[in-house]
C-alpha cells in the first residue's frame, strides 16, 4: 500500500500536471499513468471493466468512463468518443469519485430531540416523524404551510418523483429549486421570446461560429470543456467578451468589452442600434419569423454610441467596432451565463442578446444562436420536469387543459393537480418569515451558504416548526440546522438521467455503494409517499427506469418530446440524445439545433422582440461604500459551496488556500493594502475577512469575491429580477480596509478547513 507521503507526492504530481495543462486534461493520463505516478495502483484497484456515464457536477454534461473492479468504481477518466467532451474533462470530473469517500458523509438519519441534540434513528422512525410533523403542520395551517426547496443536482426521475409526491400526494402547493439561483432568468427569457424554454444550440456551434459573443460568461473557468470546444474552432473566430473583469476568457478575446457593472443591457441595445445603422440585419428573417421588430428598432434609436459610451465606460469607437465585427460575421453566436442571469434586469438582458440573434438572422443555423449555458448538471431536467414553476413537461399549472392532460397521463385524480403555481424561492422564504410556511424540506442544496444575503436567511430558517434536510453530507451549513437529516446517496451511487445545456439527455449509473444507511433520493421520495399514505398513487413510479418511461409519456407532442428514446440504458452508447427526439421521424444526427425551419413555439410560430429601459443599479457605490462588489466562480476546481470539491486533496491544491478578494493595484495602494494581506470587505449587511489579491484584471472601483466562501453572501444584497425572481448576486456597494489583528484571529476563513 502507498504511504501517506507517497500519496502526497502523487497528488502533487497530479496537481502540477493539472496546472501545467491549464485545466485541460486529456487521455494522456490514462495512456501513460506511470508518468504521473498513477501506474503503481495496488492490485485490488486494477480495473477489470469499464462503464460510461455523465459527470455530476456542471451542465456541460461530459461523458466519463468509470473503471470498475468487482462492479465497484476504482477510477475515472473522460470518455474519448462522447460528443460533448471528446476525451477531455475539467479537474472536478477527474475527482468525481474521490468526493464520495469523505468522513462527513451522512450515513444515518439524525433527529433532533426536545433537548436540542440530534440522535441517530432508523429510517422508520425518521419517516414516521417527518410524516407526522408535516401532517400536523398542514392540519393546523393548511396544505400550503409545508414546502420544499430542491436542486439541479439530482436526476430528472428523482425531480419528477419529488414534484409529483410533494404536490399531488402530500398536498404541498409551493416548491422551488436552486435552479432559481442560476437559470430562472434564461427560462423566462426563452419562454417569452420563443414560446418555450428552449436553448436552441448544440455545442458544435462553438466550433462553427465565426463570431462568438460571450456576455457575463467566463467559460475558461466555469465551463472549461466548452472553452476547449472554442479553441478547436478552425475559423479563427472573433471572440467578444462582455465582462467588467479581464477574466481568463477575456484575456483570450479578440475584443474585451470591459463594461461598468450591469451596463451590459445598455451595450446590447447600443449594438442593436449600430447594426441597424450599418444595415447589418436580416430583413427576410425578421419579416417571416418574428414579431415586434419595428417597435424594437424605434426603441433602440436612443442608444447611440455616445450614450452607450457614457453608460458603459467604453469608447464610442469601441462600441461601433464591436457591432462591425458582429455585422461581418456569417455565423454569429451569442452566449451568456450568470453575469446576465444573476442581475436586477437579467431577463431583459438575456432577451437583448436574443434580439441581436433574431435581427441578424443568427439562429437555427450552424454556429449561431442566442445561447444560455446553464449551471448545474441537471438544471435543464429541473426546468422541464421538477413540477415546481412549470407543471410537468413545461406545462402550466393554471391551465385546466394542461392539468387534465397530466392527470390522465399519470392516472392521478384531476383534483389532486394543484391549479396554483408555486411561489418562487424568495417568496417561499418570505412565507417562512411571515409564518405562512412552517415546514420545509430541503433537498441536495446548501442555501445557508448560497442564498443571497445570509444575515436574514438563518433567522428565517429558525422560524420553522420543522426543517428536514436531505443531503450526502452532514456537515453542510444547511444540514447542521436540520431538525431531521436524511442521508442521501450521491452521483455514482444511484441511476437516472441528466439533461445538459444543449438539451442532451445522458445517463448516470450506480458504480459505488452509498455509505451506511444512506439511500438514493429516489428511494427517500418513495418512502415519503408511503409514510404519508399516498404511496398507491405512485405505484407505477417504482424505479428510475419506469419513471423515465412516464417522462416520455409526459413529453409526447411537446417541444421536449423524447418518446423516440426506447430504452434509457442505450443512452450511453448513443452518446446521449438531444431533445426533441420524437418516436416519429426522429432526426438521428448527433448534434442538433432548434429553429432550423424558423418556426418558434408561440402559436403564430414567430419569435418576439422584447425590451425595456435599463434601470439604475439597485445599490450604487457611494462615499461610504465606494466599491461595486462582483461575485462569481473562483476556479475550475471549485463547485458552488464546496460541499463536494473541498473533499478532494487534488482540487484543494488547485485554488488558493484562503479566500481572497481581487482589487486593482491603484485602489490597493490608495487604501494602503498589502498584496496577500488580510482585509475586511464590508457592505451595509455584513463583512468578510479575506486576503487581498492585487491584480490589474479588476477595474478600479470594483472588487471581486469568489462565491465559494460562505462569507461572500453575508455581503450581497437581496434584490431580484422582477420577472424571473432570480437573485442579483453580481453587484452591490461595499468598502474595503486592512484587517486588524483580532479580526484575522477571530475569522473562520483563516483556517484551512475549506
CB closer to ligand SF4 out of 102 and 276: 102
**Given candidates 15, 18, 29, 62, which one binds ligand SF4 under the rule CB under 6 A?**
62
| Pairing of β 369-372 and β 332-336 | parallel
Sequence-separated (6 or more) residues with CB below 8 Å from residue 735 = 624, 625, 626, 627, 681, 682
Any contact of residue 23 with ligand SF4 (CB under 6 A)?
A: no
Cross-strand pairs, 433: none
CB closer to ligand SF4 out of 58 and 73: 58
Any contact of residue 57 with ligand SF4 (CB under 6 A)?
A: yes
CB closer to ligand SF4 out of 18 and 62: 62
Binding-residue pattern over the window 347 to 376 for ligand SF4, x denoting contact by CB under 6 A: ------------------------------
Shortest distance, position 649 Cβ to ligand SF4, whole Å = 18
Shortest distance, position 589 Cβ to ligand SF4, whole Å = 22
Binders in 270-289 for ligand SF4, by CB under 6 A:
none
Shortest distance, position 494 Cβ to ligand SF4, whole Å = 17
Count the neighbouring beta carbons within 10 Å of the beta carbon of residue 236: 8
The Cα 585–Cα 747 span in angstroms is: 61
Any contact of residue 60 with ligand SF4 (CB under 6 A)?
A: yes
Per CB under 6 A, which region of 55-63, 267-275, 299-307, 551-559 contacts ligand SF4?
55-63
Q: Find the distance separating the first CA and the last CA of the chain, reported in whole Å.
A: 28
Shortest distance, position 745 Cβ to ligand SF4, whole Å = 36
CB closer to ligand SF4 out of 85 and 181: 85
Shortest distance, position 84 Cβ to ligand SF4, whole Å = 8
Which three cell numbers, joined as nine digits, stand for 465?
Answer: 416548526
**Given candidates 83, 93, 490, 710, which one binds ligand SF4 under the rule CB under 6 A?**
93
**Given candidates 18, 29, 58, 432, which one binds ligand SF4 under the rule CB under 6 A?**
58
| Element containing residue 732 per DSSP (H, E) | strand 732-738
Binding-residue pattern over the window 177 to 216 for ligand SF4, x denoting contact by CB under 6 A: ----------------------------------------
The Cα 736–Cα 670 span in angstroms is: 11
Shortest distance, position 264 Cβ to ligand SF4, whole Å = 25
* Three-class DSSP category at 669: helix
For residue 552, which of 397, 673, 709, 393 has the smallest C-alpha distance? 393
- Which residue reads 452607450 in cell numbers? 308
Any contact of residue 87 with ligand SF4 (CB under 6 A)?
A: no
The Cα 635–Cα 199 span in angstroms is: 26
DSSP string, 568-623: GGGTTTTT-EESP--SSS----SS--S-TTS--SSTTS-EE---------SS---S
Q: How many CA atoms lie within 13 A of 8 on its CB side?
A: 3
**Given candidates 83, 152, 195, 224, which one binds ligand SF4 under the rule CB under 6 A?**
224
Shortest distance, position 229 Cβ to ligand SF4, whole Å = 11
Shortest distance, position 58 Cβ to ligand SF4, whole Å = 3
* Three-class DSSP category at 706: strand
The Cα 476–Cα 304 span in angstroms is: 49
Any contact of residue 55 with ligand SF4 (CB under 6 A)?
A: yes
Task: Determine the size of the site formed for ligand SF4 (CB under 6 A).
Answer: 13
| Element containing residue 652 per DSSP (H, E) | helix 649-653
Number of residue whose CB is nearest ligand SF4: 93
Could you list the residues that contact ligand SF4 (CB under 6 A)? 55, 57-58, 60-62, 85, 89-90, 92-93, 224-225
Amino acid at each position: 500500500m502507498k504511504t501517506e507521503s507517497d500519496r502526497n507526492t502523487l497528488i502533487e504530481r497530479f496537481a502540477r500536471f493539472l496546472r501545467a495543462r491549464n485545466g485541460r486534461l486529456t487521455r494522456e493520463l490514462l495512456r501513460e499513468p506511470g508518468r504521473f505516478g498513477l501506474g503503481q495502483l495496488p492490485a485490488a484497484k486494477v480495473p477489470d471493466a469499464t462503464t460510461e456515464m455523465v459527470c455530476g457536477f456542471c451542465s456541460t454534461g461530459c461523458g466519463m468512463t468509470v473503471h470498475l473492479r468487482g462492479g465497484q468504481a476504482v477510477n475515472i477518466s473522460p470518455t474519448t468518443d462522447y460528443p460533448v467532451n471528446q476525451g477531455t474533462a475539467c479537474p472536478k470530473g477527474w475527482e468525481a469519485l474521490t468526493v464520495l469517500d469523505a468522513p462527513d458523509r451522512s450515513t444515518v438519519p439524525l433527529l433532533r430531540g426536545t433537548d436540542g441534540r440530534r440522535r441517530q434513528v432508523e429510517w422508520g422512525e425518521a419517516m414516521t416523524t417527518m410524516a407526522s410533523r408535516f401532517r400536523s403542520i398542514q392540519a393546523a395551517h393548511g396544505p400550503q404551510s409545508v414546502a420544499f426547496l430542491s436542486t439541479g443536482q439530482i436526476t430528472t426521475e428523482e425531480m419528477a418523483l419529488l414534484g409529483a409526491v410533494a404536490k399531488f400526494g402530500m398536498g404541498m402547493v409551493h416548491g422551488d429549486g436552486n435552479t432559481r439561483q442560476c437559470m430562472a432568468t434564461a427560462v423566462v427569457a426563452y419562454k417569452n421570446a420563443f414560446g418555450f424554454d428552449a436553448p436552441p444550440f448544440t455545442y458544435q456551434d462553438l466550433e462553427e461560429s465565426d463570431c462568438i459573443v460571450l456576455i457575463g460568461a467566463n467559460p475558461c473557468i466555469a465551463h472549461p470543456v466548452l472553452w476547449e470546444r472554442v479553441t478547436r474552432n478552425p475559423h479563427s473566430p472573433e471572440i467578444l467578451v462582455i465582462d467588467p473583469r479581464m477574466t481568463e476568457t477575456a484575456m483570450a478575446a479578440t475584443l474585451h468589452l470591459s463594461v461598468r457593472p450591469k451596463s451590459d443591457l445598455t451595450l446590447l441595445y447600443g449594438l442593436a442600434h449600430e447594426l441597424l445603422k450599418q444595415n447589418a440585419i436580416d430583413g427576410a428573417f425578421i419579416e417571416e419569423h418574428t414579431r415586434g421588430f419595428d417597435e424594437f428598432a424605434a426603441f433602440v434609436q436612443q442608444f447611440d454610441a455616445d450614450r452607450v459610451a457614457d453608460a458603459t465606460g467604453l469608447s464610442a469607437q469601441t462600441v461601433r467596432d464591436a457591432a462591425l465585427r458582429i455585422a461581418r460575421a456569417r455565423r454569429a453566436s451569442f452566449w451568456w451565463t450568470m453575469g446576465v442571469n444573476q442581475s436586477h434586469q437579467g431577463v431583459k438582458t438575456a432577451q437583448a442578446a436574443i434580439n441581436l440573434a433574431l435581427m441578424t438572422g443568427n439562429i437555427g443555423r450552424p454556429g449561431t444562436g442566442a445561447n444560455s449555458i446553464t449551471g448545474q448538471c441537471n438544471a435543464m431536467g429541473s426546468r422541464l420536469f421538477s413540477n415546481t414553476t412549470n407543471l410537468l413537461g413545461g406545462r402550466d399549472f393554471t391551465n385546466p387543459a394542461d392539468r387534465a392532460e397530466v392527470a390522465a397521463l399519470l392516472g392521478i385524480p384531476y383534483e389532486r393537480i394543484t391549479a396554483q403555481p408555486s411561489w418562487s424561492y424568495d417568496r417561499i422564504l418570505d412565507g417562512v418569515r411571515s409564518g405562512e410556511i412552517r415546514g420545509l424540506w430541503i433537498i441536495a442544496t446548501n442555501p445557508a451558504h448560497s442564498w443571497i444575503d445570509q444575515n436574514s436567511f438563518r433567522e428565517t430558517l429558525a422560524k420553522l416548526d420543522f426543517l428536514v434536510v436531505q443531503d450526502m453530507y452532514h456537515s453542510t451549513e444547511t444540514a447542521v440546522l436540520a431538525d431531521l437529516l436524511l442521508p442521501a446517496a450521491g452521483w455514482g451511487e444511484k441511476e437516472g438521467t441528466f439533461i445538459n445545456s444543449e438539451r442532451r439527455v445522458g445517463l448516470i449509473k450506480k458504480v459505488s455503494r452509498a455509505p451506511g444507511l444512506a439511500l438514493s433520493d429516489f428511494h427517500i421520495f418513495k418512502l415519503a409517499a408511503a409514510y404519508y399514505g399516498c404511496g398507491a398513487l405512485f405505484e407505477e413510479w417504482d424505479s428510475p427506469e419506469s419513471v423515465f418511461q412516464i417522462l416520455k409519456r409526459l413529453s409526447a407532442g411537446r417541444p421536449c418530446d423524447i418518446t423516440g428514446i426506447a430504452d434509457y440504458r442505450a443512452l450511453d452508447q448513443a452518446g446521449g440524445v438531444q431533445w426533441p427526439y420524437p418516436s416519429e421521424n426522429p432526426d438521428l444526427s448527433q448534434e442538433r439545433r432548434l429553429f432550423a425551419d424558423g418556426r418558434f413555439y408561440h402559436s403564430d410560430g414567430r419569435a418576439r422582440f422584447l425590451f425595456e429601459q435599463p434601470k439604475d443599479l439597485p445599490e450604487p457605490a457611494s462615499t461610504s461604500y465606494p466599491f461595486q462588489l462582483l461575485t462569481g466562480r473562483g476556479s475550475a476546481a471549485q463547485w458552488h459551496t464546496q460541499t463536494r470539491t473541498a473533499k478532494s486533496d487534488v482540487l484543494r491544491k488547485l485554488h488558493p488556500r484562503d479566500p481572497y478578494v481581487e482589487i486593482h493595484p491603484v485602489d490597493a495602494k490608495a487604501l494602503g493594502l498589502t498584496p496577500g494581506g488580510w482585509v475586511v470587505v464590508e457592505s451595509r449587511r455584513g463583512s468578510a475577512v479575506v486576503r487581498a489579491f492585487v491584480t490589474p484584471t479588476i477595474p478600479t472601483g470594483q472588487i471581486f469575491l469568489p462565491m465559494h466562501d460562505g462569507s461572500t453572501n453575508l455581503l450581497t444584497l437581496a434584490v431580484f429580477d422582477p420577472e424571473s425572481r432570480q437573485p442579483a448576486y453580481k453587484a452591490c456597494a461595499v468598502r474595503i480596509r486592512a484587517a486588524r489583528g483580532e479580526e484575522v484571529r477571530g475569522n473562520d476563513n483563516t483556517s484551512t478547513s475549506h
